[in-house]
Amino acid sequence: MLPEDDLKIVTEKMGREPNLVEQGCFLNLWSEHCSYRSSAPLLKTFTTTGDKVIIGPGDDAAIIKFGNGWVLAIGMESHNHPSYVDPYNGSATGVGGIVRDIISMGARPIALMDPLYFGPLYSPKNLYLFEHIIEGISGYGNCIGVPVVRGEAFFDETYSGNPLVNVVAVGLAREENIVTACAHKAGNKLILMGSTTGRDGLGGASFASRDLSDDSEAEDRPSIQIGDPFTEKLTIEATLEAIGKGYVKSCRDLGAAGLAGASSEMAAKGDLGMRIMADKVIQREANMTPYEILIAESQERMLLEVEPENVDDVLAIADKYDLNASLIGDLTENMDYTIEFEGEVVADIPVKLLTEGAPTFERPSEAPQPRDIGSKPELTADIKQAVLDLISSHNVASKEWIYRQYDHEVQIRTVVKPGDDAGVLRIDGDEGIILSCGCNPRHTLLDPYQGGKGTIIENAMNLAVKGASGIAIVDCLNFGNPERPDIYWQFKHAILGLGDGARALSIPVVGGNVSLYNESGEFNTAILPTPSIGLVGHTENVNAAPSGIFTNEGDTIILVGLTKDELGGSEYYSLKDMASNGEVPNVPENTAAIINTLIDVVHSGKLTASHDLSLGGLAAALCEMCEGIGAEVDLSTVADDLRADDLLFSESYTRAIITSSEPESVKEMLKEIPYTVIGTTGGDKLSIKGKELDITLSIDEINEARNSLMHLMME
């Protein structure tokens, strides 16, 4: 079962060859998914500490100070391979798993975000995956009462054989109620609470650490967990009640590698050993073997460390919520991880060897040959049609069909709903958090460093236009097979870009997930390098966030930031089948100054609308803002050396459109950063003039194009 090299290491360290049960534990705990074997050295380059960081990477979720005794728990995970094999259950259990990471810290989940990546929907298979993944997320999140407040849906052919389902979860707790996964004391008891243990999800961690094969849908189905959101809801309430009453000393949800992963890691973090009586685990299927009991990734299960005198109280709480619970073991002084089954020892492993013994290393990496950026194409003859084609593309079109499936107002904290640059939630009085997620994989493909750095900046701009600076980042690093030197080079340089972008804005990277081997034998290709992130920001006043659309007639429109000839990786070039042409956007050196100034301007209360510029450039942003009110725009003074398509479709970083009825005051605040007055709001049309430019689009034309995804899904 174990690879030959790993078997040699384990045999040498243990002084004997491990039996099959022990090999199963090592196979999963030493997988890339659990042990970060080829990514740990790179992840150490992140800055993970800061004034607000209470718990950083290494636990089920990070803990960040909010204020007034409140803390936030934040985590991010992927469920990519399972969502291809079984899209409904794969995506649903992706939500369930990250939610349990939050509650295992003692926090109540209050928000979800879902960055998703699919193949184009004109393929019946991709359409099937898309519909059922969205159905799984909505079905689970809606049932457990946690709002999905923000997301991303990005489409590219490379995801056809390997869609990505990334989920960010945020929780809220009082600081004194926080628990960790670090075991406290020998002699304390272990209670497994929640659902029963079945054979679903066997070997899920090892399954996540290899490419998808042509036959994955049939042969890998036993690796897919089956979710039950109603049991999850009960598990949330029971776990938080037990923690709130002080009964729980440490806690871990059962995710990757099942009971073997959760229990061994809990013991090792506390420098303790553990004895597990596997036959005491409540099973839903007959004749389960010790290996199956240990490795199964059945959902909705929590492992609790409890002092002996509180065992009956915790079991009573489980009974109150009609949950299964049993006493399955205890913590020991010795540093061994011992499994008993029907009175016999079936596994006995040095616990630190199991949880920390996997060798980590940097793999060989190889930079690609210098890219030929090609020549610029002829200027599009029908620029108006180019704009309509752009805003009706899968990537730029409104994602309303997706987020209308989600209950985004449950818990009544949501101030700014999905569809805007960022989600805004009320936490304490008028104080709240602002949330953003996602990345631009095409930028990262052409320049992993700038793409990684730009991922941070783009999400920070989403917060800035709502008046918040980032306080914590979580990531989900989705890449192909790291054993390929070119893929590992992408991975390495994207991480370096993410780290430098985060340091430039003084935002710590507090946790996340690595998802490698995202390749498909069916399509013989790796996904685009996709370093998706979740970013949390703090705001003193949730009511001060400006609208993302034009709200008043006669307001002055100001473009903040510089527009450059940077169409490499753009949506415009992709639609022209030229995605590998052109210069990739570079992060400006004055990015921090632009972001900080923009936040100050928002706080002044003098803006009537603000919107970040990203995918699709200025053309997309202007169309998105013309939801009910039009505008007259003149781009002739934005840049002297740019063509019409550069002006409209460049995806240069650190730009925003803002509007104000007090333009002179706003311009005074903007004087230290680049900006250009480009027009006035009003009417029922968007008119854009300038060098080589003279187009007019009615609001009806814009709305019809932007609703293309809705029309496709309603057919």
Residues assigned a catalytic role: 33, 79
> How many other CB atoms are there within 10 angstroms of residue 125's CB atom?
12
Beta bridge partners of 253: 302
Output the DSSP codes for 157-223.
GGGTTS-EEEEEEEEEEEGGG---S----TT-EEEEEESPB-STTTTHHHHTTSPBPTTHHHHTGGG
Listed in order, strand segments (DSSP E) in 39-156 are 53-55, 62-67, 70-78, 108-118, 148-155
Vertex 220: Cα angle to 278 and 234 (nearest 5) = 50
CB atoms within 10 A of CB 274: 25
164, β-bridge pairs:
117
As a whole number of angstroms, the distance between CA 268 and CA 250 comes to: 12
d(CA 500, CA 234): 42
What order do you get walking across the sheet with 509-515 strand by strand? 414-416, 423-428, 431-438, 530-539, 469-478, 509-515
CA distance 589 to 137: 39
Give the C-alpha distances (Å, rounded to integers) separating 317 from 194, 281, 310: 11, 18, 11
Beta bridge partners of 327: 191
Determine phi and psi for 402, rounding to 5 degrees.
-75, -60
Residue 153: exposure state from Cβ atoms within 10 A (0-12, 13-18, ≥19): buried
Secondary structure class of 602 (helix, strand, coil): helix
- Alpha carbon 295 to chain centroid distance? 25
Euclidean distance between CA atoms 341 and 277, whole angstroms:
6
CA distance 596 to 469: 8
Backbone angles phi, psi at 36, to 5 degrees: 55, 45
658 is written with which tokens? 């803002």
According to DSSP, the β-strands at 273-277 and 336-341 are parallel
User: Are 450 and 409 a contacting pair, CB within 8 Å?
Assistant: no
* d(C-alpha 550, C-alpha 8), whole Å: 65
In the block, residue with structure tokens 């992927």: 78
| Alpha-carbon torsion angle 392, 467, 675, 531, nearest 10 | -50
Q: Which of 618, 623, 688, 685 is nearest to 657 (CA)?
A: 618
